[in-house]
Chain A
């Protein structure tokens, strides 16, 4: 099957029985987890394998116009000159296992770790988009992530349409139609990706997790770097070394205008209020910790202190007192937070 054959705009092949599968435009959203899974699988392929394939799972929007690829798992397969073998049994079992843990995800397609599309791709694609086990009546998404050494990673997404003059030909042919895709990560993934990205320039490709203060330091350094860059640019425009741009100027002005204008007295007041809240909570948290530790220590230490009953009673008394204090503390605690809320 030649590549050129696949680039027909819209196929007019035999329409399958019943309702025709939708060929409506489709937008593919990929979450980084799925890409990472694919890359990991690619690293773990057998030495003699050119590419590896696997199943994509995710969600589909109501109208079927958007597919979100959320996760992926590997499926074993072997390719020879004239035949391809995919471990379908494995795929089914794994899918069942996966769906057990992620009931909301559905089968959306498959991936391969080579950009090439060939007859085998068409065969596999037809399996994944078929009726029964496949994604029918929705199109199956085929994602290719090239992992060739020395080249950029190239990701492409396709859906397919049936082609072929006869039923036999249709079984091993498919018109792959490229569809746009987008890599999307949520707010929650951001912190994870940040930590991962910290390792990108490291020689050993690993990094430790930063503490709050370290992360803050890095963020501030980055902001300072950005401000430097902008002011350098502005200076060079003023010195007429760089071309000026009204749009850029306007944009920077807008950004500057975002600085709030507040009365110094208000700032002073808010600042003091908040810093007090923060410090009080910290102080109380540590006090509570010390109190609890003391109470536990006393409870376990009373017997070694000598007399049996009498010290026991003493310890009890002390604990009573502490219990009382503990009871008061919540109210103190509440006060600053409620104030802060107001």
Chain B
């Protein structure tokens, strides 16, 4: 499994899949939605040709992080019942000539908050149980609502999978494997692909076949005509909206949550270190005492007591896993990149708006 080279290099998504995912994710928003992807892999490009949603099953999640999955849908891809559902569904679609290989799963996200245990466990499940060539598609509902579609494809890196398999996430292992938060995911470029029929359908949608029309007789007629309603699909003019505050607010909230999570993790770690220090102190005391005792004993020509009994008497606390804080850092990175991208677009828009409202200002 530990190949240095990732078996896929790009992801090509059919328009149908894009629309189906958008529909499903929006229906359940803000709850997480998940579903399966089918398609095939053609010379390193993973073509995703169809998808179907997973039913939400009310089952105790199998996550071994107890607080991680309050939402049954988030863990749906790895629940047993859904594996059966997926197998059944794939068997069914095979009959109508749909590519019937499972190539991964999709999930919805809200402002990029998709880096969590659920996603990791799901994707791990897919990569371990099924095959290497599976991806997680993340559709960000909130960001798509801002104007431009946000659809990204991820895979766990081979390095991370190896560490995750053996749950090697304490500091020593991390030093050895040199695994860092940037290495958790491999991201792939996503391409959208249209079939010929869809291409012609979209062309038709945009240019109604009616020829040139007469000039409207009155204002009311003009406003009622289909031309004054925005029918064009591209580009989406929602992009030009200057409504920035809700977005920033939401991002700040998410960042605050991350800081909180980070603090909890550091506190845990500090607690661990305090306990470790105390235990070590006790062991040292015990060792000293034993050495003294032995010194007295040897002076009195008595048999010596064993010096390594402390291993039985004291137990060193287990080091907490660093995985959560790693994920958290990855998540924060995601947020800050998102904010950067947003800021770059927004500043442009704001200067444009200012220049427009105060002509001459900028020339000074």
Interface residues of A (CB under 8 A from B): 31-33, 35-37, 39-46, 52, 54, 70-71, 73-76, 87, 90, 93-94, 97, 100-102, 104, 147, 152-153, 183, 186-200, 205-216, 218-223, 243, 245-248, 250-251, 254, 260, 262, 264, 267-268, 271, 274-275, 277-279, 281-282, 284-286, 288-289, 292-293, 295-296, 299-304, 309, 312-313, 316, 319-320, 322-323, 326-327, 329-330, 333-334, 336-337, 340-341
Query: Contacts A194-B233, A219-B237 hold; do A200 and B209 have CB atoms under 8 A apart?
Result: no
Contact A213 B248 (CB under 8 A): no
Kindly identify, within residues 237 to 255 of chain B, every residue whose CB is under 8 Å from any CB belonging to chain A: 237-240, 244-245, 248-249, 251-252, 255
Contact B255 A213 (CB under 8 A): no
A212 to B233, CA, bound (A): 17
Contact B322 A93 (CB under 8 A): no
Residues of B contacting A192 in the complex (Cβ-Cβ under 8 angstroms): 18-19, 22, 144, 149
Residues of A contacting B328 in the complex (Cβ-Cβ under 8 angstroms): 292
Q: Is B302 an interface residue (CB 8 A)?
A: no
Query: Contacts A35-B201, A39-B201, A282-B340 hold; do A340 and B16 have CB atoms under 8 A apart?
Result: no
Contact A300 B171 (CB under 8 A): yes
Can you name 11 A-B residue pairings with CB atoms under 8 Å? A191-B238, A192-B19, A197-B206, A208-B190, A212-B148, A216-B349, A221-B235, A247-B218, A278-B350, A285-B340, A296-B181
A314 to B282, CA, bound (A): 21
Nearest-neighbour CB distance to chain A for B280, whole angstroms, equals 7
- Residue of B147, B202, B223 touching A200 (CB-CB under 8 A): B202
A220 to B235, CA, bound (A): 9
Q: Is B78 an interface residue (CB 8 A)?
A: no
Q: Is B221 an interface residue (CB 8 A)?
A: yes
Residues of B contacting A251 in the complex (Cβ-Cβ under 8 angstroms): 219, 222-223, 228
A192 to B15, CA, bound (A): 8
Query: Contacts A39-B195, A100-B55, A205-B194 hold; do A340 and B248 have CB atoms under 8 A apart?
Result: yes
Nearest-neighbour CB distance to chain B for A35, whole angstroms, equals 7
Contact A288 B235 (CB under 8 A): no
Stretch at the interface among B60-68, B160-168, B266-274, B293-301: B266-274
Contact B236 A190 (CB under 8 A): yes
Stretch at the interface among B87-95, B125-133, B309-317: B87-95
A250 to B22, CA, bound (A): 39
Contact A195 B273 (CB under 8 A): no
Task: List 4 tightest A-B contacts by C-beta distance, closest first.
Answer: A215-B148, A74-B96, A197-B233, A285-B336
Residues of B contacting A190 in the complex (Cβ-Cβ under 8 angstroms): 233, 236, 238
Q: Is B196 an interface residue (CB 8 A)?
A: yes
Stretch at the interface among B1-9, B46-54, B114-122: B46-54
Residues of B contacting A264 in the complex (Cβ-Cβ under 8 angstroms): 357-358, 361
Query: Contacts A213-B348, A271-B350, A282-B339 hold; do A40 and B209 have CB atoms under 8 A apart?
Result: no
Contact B202 A196 (CB under 8 A): yes
**Closest A-chain residue to B54, C-beta based?**
A101
**Closest B-chain residue to A332, C-beta based?**
B252
**Closest A-chain residue to B20, C-beta based?**
A33
Query: Contacts A147-B197, A209-B151, A215-B239 hold; do A319 and B341 have CB atoms under 8 A apart?
Result: no
**Closest B-chain residue to A43, C-beta based?**
B195
Residues of A contacting B329 in the complex (Cβ-Cβ under 8 angstroms): 289, 292-293, 296
A43 to B333, CA, bound (A): 42
Query: Contacts A31-B23, A152-B204, A250-B219 hold; do A292 and B262 have CB atoms under 8 A apart?
Result: yes
**Closest B-chain residue to A337, C-beta based?**
B249
A153 to B191, CA, bound (A): 25
Residues of B contacting A104 in the complex (Cβ-Cβ under 8 angstroms): 27
Nearest-neighbour CB distance to chain A for B205, whole angstroms, equals 7
Given contacts A267-B358, A286-B339, A320-B270, 15 further A-B contacts (CB under 8 A): A40-B195, A102-B53, A147-B197, A153-B197, A205-B199, A210-B148, A213-B345, A215-B148, A216-B240, A243-B215, A247-B217, A247-B218, A251-B223, A275-B350, A337-B249
Contact B240 A43 (CB under 8 A): no
Query: Contacts A39-B201, A282-B343 hold; do A206 and B12 have CB atoms under 8 A apart?
Result: yes
- Residue of A93, A188, A243, A279 touching B343 (CB-CB under 8 A): A279
Query: In the complex, which range does the number of interface residues on chain B fall in?
Result: 35 or more
**Closest B-chain residue to A194, C-beta based?**
B236
Contact A36 B354 (CB under 8 A): no
Contact B240 A219 (CB under 8 A): yes
Contact A40 B256 (CB under 8 A): no
Contact A288 B19 (CB under 8 A): no
- Residue of A43, A193, A296 touching B322 (CB-CB under 8 A): A296
Residues of A contacting B251 in the complex (Cβ-Cβ under 8 angstroms): 281, 285
Q: Is B335 an interface residue (CB 8 A)?
A: yes
Q: Is B258 an interface residue (CB 8 A)?
A: yes
Residues of A contacting B255 in the complex (Cβ-Cβ under 8 angstroms): 284-285, 288, 333
Contact B92 A303 (CB under 8 A): no
Kindly identify, within residues 282 to 339 of chain B, every residue whose CB is under 8 Å from any CB belonging to chain A: 322, 325-326, 328-329, 332-333, 335-336, 339
Residues of B contacting A32 in the complex (Cβ-Cβ under 8 angstroms): 19
Nearest-neighbour CB distance to chain A for B72, whole angstroms, equals 13
Contact A333 B343 (CB under 8 A): no
Contact A268 B358 (CB under 8 A): yes
Residues of B contacting A73 in the complex (Cβ-Cβ under 8 angstroms): 96
Residues of A contacting B149 in the complex (Cβ-Cβ under 8 angstroms): 191-192, 194-195, 209-210
A26 to B240, CA, bound (A): 38
A76 to B93, CA, bound (A): 10
A104 to B219, CA, bound (A): 42
Contact B248 A247 (CB under 8 A): no
Residues of A contacting B141 in the complex (Cβ-Cβ under 8 angstroms): 188
Query: Contacts A295-B266, A340-B249 hold; do A71 and B23 have CB atoms under 8 A apart?
Result: yes
Residues of A contacting B14 in the complex (Cβ-Cβ under 8 angstroms): 40
